[in-house]
Structure 1
Amino acid sequence: MTADMVAPAWMHEQITAEQYDAWSAEQCAGIEIVDGMVVAGPSASKRHNRLARILANALDAAAGPEWNADTDFDVRLQDVPLVNRRPDVVVYRADTIDLTPTRPEHLLLVVEVVSPGSETTDRIVKVDQYAKAGIAFYWRVEQAATGVPLIYTYVLDPATRAYRDGEMFTGTIKAAVPFSVIVDLRAI
């Protein structure tokens, strides 16, 4: 980093929920907050974004009127220290559409599409955080070298606040839970 490239102070200091909530949508885009610190995520590829959008559209259509599915918005896992995650796809209660921030109790399912630079976070860290927050279902989409995505599903054990393995799908999701949905991810 040269003398001309000085990182802003907020990148070096813990921020509070109140400070974050005062930021614009543009300031919050592309970042997550972990233990009060700003964490910049890797830029998503077109393939990553398309997988997320196809999944969100299919989940939204299958979810029924009680649930909505969408992409790329904040989920407030805890206030102190602030933890805001930005899952690739979220299925949330339709009656909470105007509530901000979105909290774990509003969610049914979160989906992460693993990309270079997000492997450890999506496979280990977020799994633990989402389970401890009480989110009932977690899906992880791996972009395999063959081009055919692998989808791993997890179901929350409420007694242990940990996920147990659900089904694994190759290319096409044919899930019965949290609701019946079929999604072909092979033709991206």
Structure 2
Amino acid sequence: MHTPISAERYDSWSEERCAGIEIVAGRVVVRPSASKRHHRLARILANALDAAAGPDWNADTDFDVRLHDVPLTNRRPDVVVYRADTIDLTPTRPEHVPLVVEVVSPGSETTDRVVKADQYAKAGIPFYWRVEQAATGVPIVYTHVLDPATRAYRDGDMFTGVIKAAAPFSVTVDLGAV
């Protein structure tokens, strides 16, 4: 049995070594390669969220959010909105993050729909969006809002193709042309 990876050990690794993995309860989880459509959806969302967020927030793709130090749990959401004044702080912590987005791919359904949603909620991230790549080609976006009393998400709005969300800030994104 392997010794769980500590935060100190992980933090000593290079960015290249950490790029394709997540750490869950101290164990390395290799992330499968995503499709071009997956990457494009994430980039379009990140760009739109970044433009709508204003100067206090940034939106980027594919970097660690440290959910727990012990046991170490780092997740790499497809899109992360975070406080602009924390851009140079590593690791990014849940208290810096109002919204994470996961784009569901074949093979990640249960992880994105159940496991990550639960982990993000327990870490206190206020909003979670899940993008489903429907057979029609038009993405469906499910939004979830944290209930702070239960540390669980409740269902928010659902959007097909065009997102018109008011929280955590007003944003409109057309995903129908992807």
Structure 1 outlier segments of 4+, above 3 Å: none
| Structure-2 residue corresponding to 1:17 | 7
> Superposed, which structure 2 residues align to 1:33-44 within 5 Å?
33-44=23-34
Distance 1:103 1:178 in 2: 17
**Aligned counterpart for 1:120 among listed residues 89, 110, 116:** 110
- Give, in whole Å, the separation in 2 of the partners of 1:18 and 1:116: 33
SS in 2 for 1:95: helix
Q: Residue by residue, what CA displacement relative to the aligned partner does 1:40-92 show, whole Å, maximum 9, x if unpaired?
A: 01111000000000000000000011100000000000001100000000000
Partners of 2:165 and 2:71 lie apart in 1 by 35
How many Å separate the matches in 2 of 1:137 and 1:25? 27
Of the candidates 138, 141, 158, which is equivalent to residue 148 of structure 1?
138
The aligned counterpart of 1:100 is 90
Letter aligned with residue 149 of structure 1: P
Query: Normalising by the residue count of structure 2, what TM-score does the alignment of the two structures yield?
Result: 0.98
Letter in 2 for 1:157: D
Please identify the structure whose Cα radius of gyration is greater: 1
Percent identity between matched residues is 83
CA distance in 1, matches of 2:5, 2:58: 30
Root-mean-square deviation over aligned CA pairs: 1.0
How far 1:13 moved relative to its partner? 3.6
Return the TM-score normalized by structure 1.
Answer: 0.93
Q: How does 1:23-102 map to 2 (within 5 A)?
A: 23-102=13-92
| Structure 1 portions without partners, runs of 5+ | 1-8
Matched with 2:129 is 139
| Partner secondary structure for residue 80 of structure 1 | coil
Unaligned segments of structure 2, at least 5 residues:
none
Indicate the residue corresponding to 1:3 in structure 2: none
1:129 Cα shift? 0.4
Distance 1:54 1:172 in 2: 12
Counterpart of 2:49 in 1: which secondary structure?
A: helix
Tell me how many residue pairs correspond in the alignment.
Answer: 178
* Secondary structure of the corresponding residue to residue 92 of structure 1: strand
SS at match of 1:51: helix
2:33 corresponds to which letter in structure 1?
S
